[in-house]
């Protein structure tokens, strides 16, 4: 019996020592306190072991000392542990000091027992025929008990307090320790009062030590975890359903219960409801995620469903959970964002980028269909803004957008390209040009008091090359607009390929002009002008472009382009200076011919014509009388008074003015009398085009007679035949020019053929 207990106590001491080591090594704060408490339990156990095993009074007494002092250590450590375990750090400092003091006093008085014998003694009693020394308590022993029980009582009070004041889930960890303490206490107390020889209650020390160790270091409150997780799941905004392996719903959080319209705690119907709502199968355990749209009272709702399989630590399937997220708001936000990115704020129509994309899609989807791409432009929209204000301007743009949406046939796409321009793509067979023209002819935007008729032009490109970029198609439609820019009656213009070629040509030669001028590609040709006797009196300078790649270009190929963009001024300035250079040379050689140069009406917009002419003549030292200036009637059509002044001043300086292409425009003989003109040039070709030749001849005759009357010389150009020459001579025409005499030619040839001939003749 003794030996059995000794062995049990020894093993207990070893086990406690091992736990103390493990606790010390644990990284948790409580580890240190646990280690102290568990280790403190060892001396009482050892003390008891000695008492049980000893055969002498001295040995038993030693055992008693170890036991008592050990108990003081247990109380000290237990107090520290309790304060930490019950999380009462505030109490620690003062309380611990008091406990330490009490225990110190107790230890000292116990250790003084050998001197005074006031604490205890031992007396032998026979157990199993063996002397066992039983404790005989004295006053000091009572003090010791009061101290230890007192401390233990406070510990118990603390645990009871925690037990009552913490959530049920946590009570467990306090309750178990408390129970162990109480059990030990009762057992120990029973031993003390029963005075049985062997202190069996020591076993409770071991148990207590192990419980403290386990609950402080290793124990995880599973129920706590469970309820925490369930709480989290409940608080989740998305609906969650937990399914067992057969797909049966075992639990759903609150949003889940609401979504599937489940009653409190009734999860049985969930699976069927979910299947009906979202058309999903939950029986299998595979994982998936799907999106679903469900019609609801407030419109379509969008859901994101995800199913996850759940397995335990060893990978065995436990079931699954399904989460259902209501994405409707995100979806709507996304839709809004997409709408804003693809639509124009003001009109609500597609914006440029999205229109391009839609037109591309439409054309690509039906390549065999015939499409029209239209560019819609508001004429002089700036004026609308200026006159009526931007608020009305915006209103007008919205009205035009609405008109487009209303008027274009079904199957069209349209959008706003920029400010006052719109684009569209229309199926050709649905396009009703006449109806559109009619609608545009009375287009009025009215905003209460303000009504303004607005001119809208539409350029149309019939898509012949569907692989072209949409921007290029719209560019082509835009190009077509240029042909009706100044028109008020016609609103729709069609693009054709000559238009594109013309524009490309214009762009190319415009870019090439500066080099062409400086490199001498652009040169004058001279066409002789002869008198009644066929003798040359001068020449007209006609421009030629000897293009390095395209060869010889006639003025018709480039003059209209440069008249359009104003670069004609550069060409003419160059021609005038070239003519003056030739004249200077003739002057030097004593040749008495003049040169007529052409002045484009556009020149007056881009330069000071008089100053340029004057400068060219002066710089070359050419007498003004040798330079004749050919203007057309159109020069007089704008800013007439000013133009007359310019011409008059040039005339007064000695330059002669010729009215070119007389009769081809609107000019009347009446007008002629006010014009500062020395010569009128009548083009045979205009007259010979007329069907009534006799009538034409009469007109010609009269014009010449009349011009003679008012002192203006007449010159007929375009003389191609001997008959014409003869007839004109009969009409007393003074000067002639035409293929009958010579074609325009390079100056060197002209000089060789016409001036040297003359010299020979004169000689």
Residue numbers at the binding site for ligand C2E (CB under 6 A): 527, 542-543, 554-556, 559, 568, 572, 575, 598, 600, 660-661, 685, 717-720, 737-739, 744
70 binds, among ligand C2E, Ca ion, none (CB under 5 to 8 A by kind): none
Query: For Ca ion, which is the closer residue by CB, 190 or 666?
Result: 666
- Binding flag, residue 48, Ca ion (CB under 5 A): no
User: Which is nearest to 78 in space by CA: 110, 48, 40, 108?
Assistant: 40
Q: Interaction with Ca ion in 540-599: which residues (CB under 5 A)?
A: 598
Rank residues 466 and 555 by Cβ distance to Ca ion and give the closer one: 555
Per CB under 5 A, 633 contacts Ca ion: no
Nearest to 625 by CA among 647, 596, 655, 646: 655
Q: Write the CB contacts of 165 (distance below 8 Å, at least 6 apart in sequence).
A: none
Shortest distance, position 460 Cβ to Ca ion, whole Å? 37
- Distance, in Å, from the CA atom of 682 to the CA atom of 700, rounded to the nearest integer, reads 8
Element (H, E) at 43: helix 42-53
Q: CB 636 → ligand C2E: shortest distance, Å?
A: 16
**Nearest distance in Å: CB 355, Ca ion:** 49
Residue among 200 and 734 whose Cβ is closer to ligand C2E: 734
Least distance to ligand C2E from the beta carbon of 761, Å? 23
User: Which does residue 675 touch among ligand C2E, Ca ion, none (CB within 5 to 8 A, set by kind)?
Assistant: none
User: Which 3 state secondary structure label does DSSP give 246?
Assistant: coil
Q: Least Å distance between CB 539 and Ca ion?
A: 11
Residues 696/731, Cβ–Cβ less than 8 Å: no
Using the minimum distance from each CB to Ca ion, give the nearer residue, 362 or 703: 703
Cα separation, 560 vs 575, whole angstroms:
16
Long-range residue pairs from 667-670, CB within 8 A, at least 24 positions apart, any chain: 667/633, 667/636, 669/703, 669/706
CB of 744 to ligand C2E, least distance (A): 5
**Nearest CB to Ca ion, comparing residues 113 and 598:** 598
Interface segment toward Ca ion; rule CB under 5 A; list 150-158, 388-396, 603-611, 627-635 = 627-635
Q: Report the interhelical angle of 640-652 vs 609-620 (nearest 10°).
A: 20
C-beta of 365 vs 556, nearer to ligand C2E:
556
Among 377, 475, 630, 751, binds Ca ion (CB under 5 A): 630
Q: Closest distance between Ca ion and the C-beta of residue 630, in Å?
A: 4
> 444-465 burial, b for 16+ CB within 10 Å, e for fewer?
ebeeeeeeeebebbbbbbbbee
CB of 503: closest distance to ligand C2E in angstroms? 21
Judged by CB under 5 A, the stretch of 67-75, 164-172, 400-408, 654-662 that binds Ca ion is 654-662
**DSSP summary character for residue 286:** -
Minimum CB separation of residue 617 from ligand C2E in Å reads 16
Does position 661 interact with Ca ion (CB under 5 A)? The reply is: yes
- In 3D space, the residue among 200, 178, 175 whose CA is nearest the CA of residue 189 turns out to be 200
Q: Is 252 helix (H, G, I), strand (E, B) or coil?
A: strand
Cβ proximity to Ca ion: between 425 and 571 the closer is 571
Name which position in 199, 633, 660, 751 contacts Ca ion (CB under 5 A). 660
Site stretch for Ca ion (CB under 5 A), options 41-49, 142-150, 442-450, 623-631: 623-631
Residue-by-residue DSSP string for 162-231:
HHHHS-HHHHHHHHHHHHHHHHHHHHHHHHHHHT-SS-TTHHHHHHHHHHHHIIIII---HHHHHHHHHH
Place of tokens 């597609």: 350
CB of 583 to Ca ion, least distance (A): 17
Helix 568-589 / helix 609-620 crossing angle, nearest 10 deg = 30
Q: Pairing between strand 317-326 and 299-311?
A: antiparallel
Give min distance, CB of 661 to Ca ion, in A.
Answer: 4
- From the list Ca ion, ligand C2E, none, pick the one residue 194 interacts with, judged by a Cβ distance below 5 to 8 Å according to partner type: none
Q: Which is nearer to ligand C2E, 80 or 738 (CB)?
A: 738
Q: Residues 367, 370, 375, CA angle at the centre, nearest 5°?
A: 110
Span near Ca ion by CB under 5 A; candidates 251-259, 367-375, 557-565, 630-638: 630-638
| Cβ 565 to ligand C2E shortest distance, Å | 14
Among ligand C2E, Ca ion, none, the one that 542 touches (CB under a kind-dependent 5 to 8 A) is ligand C2E
- List the structure tokens of 176: 């178990």
Instruction: Please give the helix or strand (H or E) that residue 614 lies within, else none.
Output: helix 609-620
Query: Using CB distances below 5 to 8 A depending on partner kind, what does residue 627 bind out of Ca ion, ligand C2E, none?
Result: none
Q: What sign does the CA torsion over 664, 666, 672, 677 have?
A: negative
* Closest CB to ligand C2E among residues 421, 510: 510
Q: Which residues contact 666 (CB under 8 A, 6 or more apart)?
A: 633
Q: What is residue 483's DSSP assignment?
A: G
CA-based nearest residue to 295, from 278, 273, 315: 278
CA distance 240 to 256: 5
Nearer to ligand C2E, 41 or 575 (CB): 575
Number of residues counted as binding Ca ion (CB under 5 A): 4
Nearer to ligand C2E by C-beta: 49 or 553? 553
**How far apart are CB 581 and ligand C2E at their closest, in Å?**
14
Query: What is the gyration radius of the CA atoms in the chain, in angstroms?
Result: 59
* C-alpha torsion sign, points 703, 705, 711, 716: positive
**C-beta closer to Ca ion: residue 598 or 724:** 598
Q: Minimum CB separation from Ca ion for residue 540, in Å?
A: 6
Q: Judged by CB, which is closer to Ca ion: 84, or 658?
A: 658
Which residue number, 409 or 514, has a Cβ lying nearer to ligand C2E? 514
Looking at the DSSP bridge assignments, the partners of residue 540 are: 527, 596
Bridge partner list, 541: 526
Encoded tokens for 417: 């390209």
Q: Which residues bind Ca ion (CB under 5 A)?
A: 598, 630, 660-661
């Amino acid at each position: 019996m003794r030996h059995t207990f000794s062995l049990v106590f020894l093993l207990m001491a070893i086990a406690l020592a091992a736990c103390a080591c493990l606790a010390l090594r644990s990284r948790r704060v409580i580890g240190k306190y646990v280690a102290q408490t568990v280790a403190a339990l060892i001396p009482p156990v050892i003390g008891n072991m000695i008492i049980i095993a000893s055969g002498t009074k001295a040995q038993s007494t030693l055992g008693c000392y170890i036991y008592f002092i050990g108990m003081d250590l247990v109380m000290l450590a237990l107090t520290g542990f309790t304060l930490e375990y019950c999380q009462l750090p505030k109490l620690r400092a003062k309380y611990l000091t008091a406990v330490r003091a009490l225990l110190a006093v107790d230890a000292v008085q116990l250790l003084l027992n050998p001197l005074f014998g006031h604490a205890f003694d031992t007396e032998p009693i026979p157990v199993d025929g063996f002397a066992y020394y039983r404790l005989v308590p004295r006053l000091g022993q009572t003090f010791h008990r009061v101290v230890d029980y007192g401390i233990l009582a406070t510990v118990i009070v603390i645990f009871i307090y925690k037990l009552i004041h913490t959530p049920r889930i946590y009570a467990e960890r306090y309750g178990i320790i408390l129970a162990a303490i109480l059990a030990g206490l009762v057992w120990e107390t029973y031993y003390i009062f029963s005075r049985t020889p062997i202190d069996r209650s020591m076993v409770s020390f071991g148990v207590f030590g192990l419980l403290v160790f386990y609950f402080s270091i290793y124990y995880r409150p599973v129920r706590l975890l469970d309820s925490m997780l369930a709480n989290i799941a409940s608080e989740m905004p998305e609906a969650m359903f937990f399914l067992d392996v057969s797909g049966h719903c075992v639990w759903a959080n609150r949003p889940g219960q609401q979504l599937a319209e489940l009653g409190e705690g009734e999860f049985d119907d969930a699976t069927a409801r979910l299947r009906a709502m979202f058309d999903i199968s939950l029986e299998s355990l595979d994982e998936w995620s799907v999106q679903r749209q469900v019609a609801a009272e407030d419109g379509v709702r969008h859901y994101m469903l995800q199913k996850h399989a759940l397995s335990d630590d060893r990978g065995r399937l436990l079931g699954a959970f399904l989460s259902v997220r209501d994405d409707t708001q995100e979806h709507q936000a996304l839709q809004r964002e997409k709408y804003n990115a693809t639509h124009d704020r003001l009109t609500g129509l597609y914006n440029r980028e999205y229109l391009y994309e839609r037109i591309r899609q439409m054309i690509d989807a039906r390549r065999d269909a015939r499409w029209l791409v239209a560019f819609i432009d508001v004429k002089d929209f700036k004026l609308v803004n200026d006159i009526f204000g931007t608020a009305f301007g915006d209103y007008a743009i919205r009205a035009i957008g609405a008109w487009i949406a209303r008027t274009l046939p079904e199957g069209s796409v349209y959008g706003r390209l920029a400010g006052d321009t719109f684009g569209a793509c229309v199926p050709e067979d649905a396009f009703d040009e006449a109806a559109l023209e009619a609608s545009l002819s009375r287009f009025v935007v009215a905003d209460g008091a303000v009504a303004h008729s607005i001119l809208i032009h539409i350029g149309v490109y019939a898509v012949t090359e569907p692989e072209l970029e949409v921007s290029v198609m719209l560019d082509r439609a835009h190009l077509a607009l240029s042909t009706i820019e100044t028109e008020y009656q016609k609103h729709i213009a069609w693009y054709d390929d000559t238009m594109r070629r013309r524009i490309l040509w214009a762009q190319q030669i415009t870019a090439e002009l500066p080099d062409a001028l400086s490199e001498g590609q652009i040169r004058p040709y001279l066409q002789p002008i002869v008198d009644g006797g066929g003798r040359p009196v001068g020449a007209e300078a006609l421009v030629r472009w000897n293009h390095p790649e395209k060869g010889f270009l006639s003025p018709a190929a480039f003059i209209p382009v440069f008249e359009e963009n104003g670069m004609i001024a550069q060409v003419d300035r160059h021609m005038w200076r070239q003519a003056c250079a030739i004249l200077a040379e003739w002057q030097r050689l004593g040749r008495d011919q003049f040169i007529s140069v052409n002045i484009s009406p556009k020149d007056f917009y881009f330069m000071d014509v008089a100053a340029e002419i004057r400068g060219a003549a002066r710089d070359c030292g050419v007498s003004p009388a040798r330079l004749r200036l050919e203007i057309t009637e159109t020069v007089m059509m704008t800013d007439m008074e000013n133009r007359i002044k310019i011409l008059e001043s040039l005339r007064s300086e000695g330059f002669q003015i010729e009215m070119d292409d007389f009769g081809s425009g609107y000019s009347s003989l009446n007008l002629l009398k006010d014009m500062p003109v020395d010569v009128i040039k009548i083009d045979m070709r205009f007259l010979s085009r007329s069907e009534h030749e006799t009538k034409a001849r009469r007109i010609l005759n009269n014009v010449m007679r009349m011009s003679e009357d008012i002192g203006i010389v007449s010159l007929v150009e375009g003389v191609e035949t001997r008959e014409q020459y003869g007839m004109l001579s009969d009409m007393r025409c003074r000067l002639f020019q035409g293929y009958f005499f010579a074609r325009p030619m390079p100056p060197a040839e002209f000089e060789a053929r016409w001036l040297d001939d003359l010299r020979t003749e004169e000689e």
